[in-house]
Every structure is written in structure tokens, then in C-alpha cells.
């Protein structure tokens, strides 16, 4: 008879999920208020969310959209590059961010991972750029802030052709300034596991007023500004369409949840940093476990806490995942390199999947431990004990 992980966990304490989405009581009430209001899709509440989100990030503009994936696609489309132009992207990233490049009519050019940061390095982007690239998606892996300007210079790409995938970057700083505060386009995610969870949703922050207007039209079929008001008593039925667009708008239900969740975000960020520090302290002495990199001066967003299960640990990563699951501890792996996926292998061919050896070597070692603001100190200790116990002796 096999024993399920749930039963095994019963002997060691309650389950510690990899992530648990917290929607605060205030946010639940705010959603109720919108549901009862007679206006549930994008409207005034979304405008208020955009203002408050932009203020939290320190950005001039925020445009709320349906997802970070849509945000990346839209920001790339707005660059107006010739179809098929190359766009640098890490191979160690979420597949959706690379699908967004394809949907923008552009060609992903995969960049190898840096052995230390797990993100891309100036050397890595410079090497990949030799295969031809006009733009770059910079991804702040796990919340470790990257210097987009430095990467753009290394790759020989104009800084205005950088799109930041800040799905992990909310709350990080670079040279003291928040990620997304001073940018052509930074794309955030409000997916259920992210640092500002709404459930689904995304936003683009930008310093460029014209780009913000363009994104507002693009998210709603290319219709002229404030087209969402056409069913509102202050609106008009008349609109014009002057550019292509998507159906990628936000909703006031999301906005109401987001506005309420924003009030907890600074506190949640502090808790994430404290959890990461506690993990560092408890795991520093576990042989064969590599700790995540920390920026020298800047603030890490601590979206993920990724350890490396090195050969010295004795137990391979996949078996560690099983052992932790058996102990009631949920984990994940970020990410399966994009060039390991059949679709992208076919799309990019052998040449497009070459030169990615560091990502290949890192992938079998990567293990993301639970990291969410609801994690207690005893939870962290249990995770670390279970991890240490998984070592081969």
C-alpha cells in the first residue's frame, strides 16, 4: 500500500504549501462592493488602481492589463520593429514571456544563464546579440534586480528597446530606485503567486506619456481613449480605431482587490525579506545547498527563494522534491529552460538552442522553497529540517 503525502504529513505537522494566496478581508469586501455596484469591468476603480500602483512603484504612469504576458507582448509591439526582429530573452524564464515575443511577431534569441545570479549577464547578452537582436526582455529573476542600462550597452541595443519583465521585480530597487520607476516599459504580474496577488492581472509602468496612451488603446481593441466609458453615463457611444489592439483590459473587480492588497504590500515585502534571511541563516551550514545570490547594495524583491541542490548534497533535486513532498512541504522549480520545451526547440532550431550550457547545468540543481508572507518561523524551520534530512548520508 502506498501512503499519500498528506498522510505522511500528518505525522510531522501541517502541510506547508509552496504558495498560499492571501486575499485580505478588506480586499474581499472591496470586491463585494464592486460586484454590487452595477459596474464590474474596467472603469473608475481601475483608474484609481493605476494611480496608486504607479505611486507605490514611483512611476509616472501605470497601465493595468489582463496579465504580465499581455503587457510584454504589448510593450514589444509598441516598439514597431520589423516582423521577425530578434529579441533577447533569458532561456531560464517563464515560457509565457517567450510566447509573448512570438505573439508580437518577433523572434526570441535565447540568452544563457549566469552561474551566480541565475539571470543573464552582460557577457551572456553580448554573446547572444551576435545572433542578431534589436530588443531585449530583461527579467529580474526571483527578484534579484538587474541593470537594464548596463545590459543594453553590453548587447548593443538602444535603451528604449528594453522591455523589463518585472513579474518577479516588484519591490526590488536598483541603485536605490524601485524597479519600474524609471523605465521605458516594466511589466508586472498580479497572478496568484506573485508579490501583489490579485489572482490574475498585470500592469505596465512607463515614464513615457505617449507610450502609456498607446498601451491604453492597445489593451482595448485599439479604441480611442476612455472607450470603456461608452456604457457609462458620462461616456459617448462614439469611438475611433486607429491602431491594432488586443482584448487585454483590467476589470474593476481586480482593481478593487488590488487597491486593498496594495495597502499590505510594504509589510509583505518586509516579511519576505525576513523569511529569506531566516532561510539563509538556517541553510548556510547544510553541505551541498547553495544559497540564492544577494545584490551588494540594492534591495531584492524576494519573489522566490531558489536554492541549488549541488552534487555534494548526494540526493538529486527530483528526489529532494519527492522527499519534501512526503514531509508535507511544497516546492517548485523555476524554470524549465525554454529551449527544453518541444515547441521552442522546433521554432528556434538547433542553432537557436545552442550556447545555453550554463542553463542546462543549473536546471537540475534549482529548487524553489516556500516563500509567502503567511509562512511562520516554525514553518521555515520545518522546511529547513526536511531539506537537511533529504541529504544522502
Ligand X SMILES: *Cc1c(COP(=O)(O)O)cnc(C)c1O
CB of 297 to ligand X, least distance (A): 23
Helix, strand, coil shares of the chain as percentages rounded to 5? 45, 15, 40
**Coil, helix or strand for 239?**
coil
Contact indicator for 5, 375 with CB cutoff of 8 Å: no
Please report whether residue 251 would count as binding ligand X according to CB under 6 A. no
Full 3-state SS string of 11-41: HHCCCECCCCCCCCHHHHHHHHHHHCCCCCE
Contact indicator for 334, 306 with CB cutoff of 8 Å: yes
- Window 14-53: contact mask with ligand X (x via CB under 6 A): ----------------------------------------
Closest by CA to 71, choosing from 192, 176, 167, is 167
Residue 32: which residues within 8 A CB-CB, separation 6 or more?
Answer: none
How many positions of this chain bind ligand X (CB under 6 A)? 14
Comparing CB distances to ligand X, the nearer of 53 and 313 is 53
Residue 305 sits at φ, ψ, to 5 deg, of -115, 100
Identify the bridge partners of residue 249 per DSSP, sorted by sequence position: 65
Comparing CB distances to ligand X, the nearer of 97 and 106 is 97
Quick one: which segment of 120-128, 143-151, 165-173, 233-241 binds ligand X (CB under 6 A)?
165-173
Please report whether residue 113 would count as binding ligand X according to CB under 6 A. no
Comparing CB distances to ligand X, the nearer of 191 and 313 is 191
Grid look-up 533577447 returns: 88
Quick one: which segment of 75-83, 92-100, 217-225, 378-386 binds ligand X (CB under 6 A)?
92-100
Length of the chain: 393
CB of 282 to ligand X, least distance (A): 26
Cα distance between residue 296 and residue 123, in whole Å? 19
**Coil, helix or strand for 7?**
helix
Which residues are known to be catalytic?
A: 194
Comparing CB distances to ligand X, the nearer of 198 and 384 is 198
Q: Which of residues 54-83 bind ligand X (CB under 6 A)?
A: 67-69
CB of 336 to ligand X, least distance (A): 12
* Cell numbers linked to 297: 547594495
Tell how strand 305-309 and strand 289-290 pair up: antiparallel
Chain Cα centroid distance, residue 224: 30
Quick one: which segment of 28-36, 160-168, 268-276, 292-300 binds ligand X (CB under 6 A)?
160-168
Cα distance between residue 233 and residue 390, in whole Å? 62
The number of beta carbons lying within 10 Å of the beta carbon of residue 105 is: 14
* Cell numbers linked to 345: 526547440
Quick one: which segment of 78-86, 94-102, 232-240, 360-368 binds ligand X (CB under 6 A)?
94-102
Residue from 53, 94, 250, 268 touching ligand X (CB under 6 A): that is 94
Comparing CB distances to ligand X, the nearer of 129 and 167 is 167
Please report whether residue 261 would count as binding ligand X according to CB under 6 A. no
Comparing CB distances to ligand X, the nearer of 163 and 375 is 163
* Cell numbers linked to 58: 514611483
Please report whether residue 148 would count as binding ligand X according to CB under 6 A. no
Please report whether residue 87 would count as binding ligand X according to CB under 6 A. no
CB of 343 to ligand X, least distance (A): 16
Residue from 106, 167, 211, 390 touching ligand X (CB under 6 A): that is 167
- Window 173-212: contact mask with ligand X (x via CB under 6 A): ----------------x-x----------x----------
Residue from 139, 205, 251, 325 touching ligand X (CB under 6 A): that is 139
CB of 14 to ligand X, least distance (A): 27
Asked if the bond preceding 335 is cis, omega within 30° of 0, the reply is yes
* Cell numbers linked to 246: 488586443
Please report whether residue 331 would count as binding ligand X according to CB under 6 A. no
Interacting residues toward ligand X by CB under 6 A:
67-69, 93-94, 96-97, 139, 165, 167-168, 189, 191, 202
Amino acid at each position: 500500500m502506498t501512503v499519500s503525502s498528506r498522510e505522511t504529513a500528518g505525522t510531522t505537522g501541517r502541510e506547508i504549501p509552496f504558495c498560499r494566496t492571501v486575499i485580505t478581508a478588506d480586499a474581499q469586501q472591496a470586491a463585494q462592493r464592486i460586484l454590487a455596484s452595477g459596474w464590474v469591468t474596467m472603469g473608475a476603480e481601475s483608474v484609481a488602481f493605476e494611480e496608486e500602483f504607479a505611486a507605490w512603484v514611483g512611476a509616472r504612469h501605470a497601465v493595468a492589463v489582463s496579465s504580465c504576458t499581455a503587457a510584454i507582448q504589448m510593450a514589444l509591439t509598441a516598439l514597431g520593429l520589423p516582423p521577425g526582429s530578434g529579441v533577447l530573452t533569458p532561456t531560464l524564464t517563464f515560457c509565457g514571456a517567450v510566447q509573448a515575443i512570438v505573439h508580437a511577431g518577433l523572434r526570441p534569441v535565447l540568452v544563457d544563464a549566469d552561474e551566480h545570479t541565475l539571470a543573464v549577464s552582460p557577457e551572456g547578452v553580448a554573446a547572444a546579440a551576435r545572433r542578431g537582436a534589436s530588443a531585449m526582455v530583461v527579467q529580474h529573476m526571483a527578484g534579484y534586480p538587474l541593470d537594464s542600462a548596463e545590459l543594453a550597452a553590453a548587447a548593443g541595443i538602444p535603451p528604449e528597446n528594453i522591455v523589463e519583465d518585472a513579474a518577479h521585480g516588484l519591490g526590488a530597487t536598483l541603485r536605490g530606485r524601485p524597479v519600474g520607476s524609471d523605465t521605458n516599459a516594466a511589466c508586472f504580474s498580479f497572478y496568484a503567486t506573485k508579490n501583489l496577488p490579485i489572482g490574475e492581472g498585470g500592469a505596465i509602468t512607463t515614464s513615457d506619456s505617449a507610450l502609456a496612451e498607446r498601451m491604453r488603446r492597445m489593451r482595448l481593441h485599439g479604441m480611442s481613449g476612455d472607450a470603456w466609458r461608452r456604457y457609462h453615463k458620462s461616456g459617448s457611444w462614439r469611438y475611433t480605431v486607429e491602431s491594432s489592439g488586443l482584448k487585454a483590459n483590467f476589470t474593476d473587480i481586480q482593481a478593487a482587490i488590488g487597491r486593498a492588497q496594495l495597502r499590505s504590500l510594504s509589510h509583505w515585502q518586509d516579511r519576505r525579506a525576513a523569511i529569506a534571511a531566516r532561510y539563509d541563516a538556517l541553510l548556510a551550514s547544510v553541505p551541498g545547498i547553495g544559497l540564492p545570490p544577494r545584490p551588494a547594495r540594492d534591495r531584492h524583491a524576494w519573489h522566490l527563494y531558489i536554492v541549488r541542490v549541488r552534487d555534494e548534497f548526494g540526493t538529486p533535486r527530483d528526489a529532494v522534491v519527492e522527499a519534501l513532498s512526503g514531509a508535507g512541504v511544497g516546492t517548485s522549480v523555476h524554470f524549465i529552460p525554454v529551449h527544453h520545451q518541444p515547441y521552442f526547440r522546433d521554432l528556434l532550431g538547433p542553432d537557436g538552442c545552442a550556447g545555453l550550457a550554463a542553463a542546462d547545468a543549473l536546471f537540475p540543481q534549482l529548487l524553489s522553497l516556500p516563500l509567502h508572507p503567511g509562512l511562520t518561523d516554525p514553518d521555515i524551520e520545518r522546511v529547513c529540517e526536511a531539506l537537511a534530512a533529504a541529504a544522502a548520508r
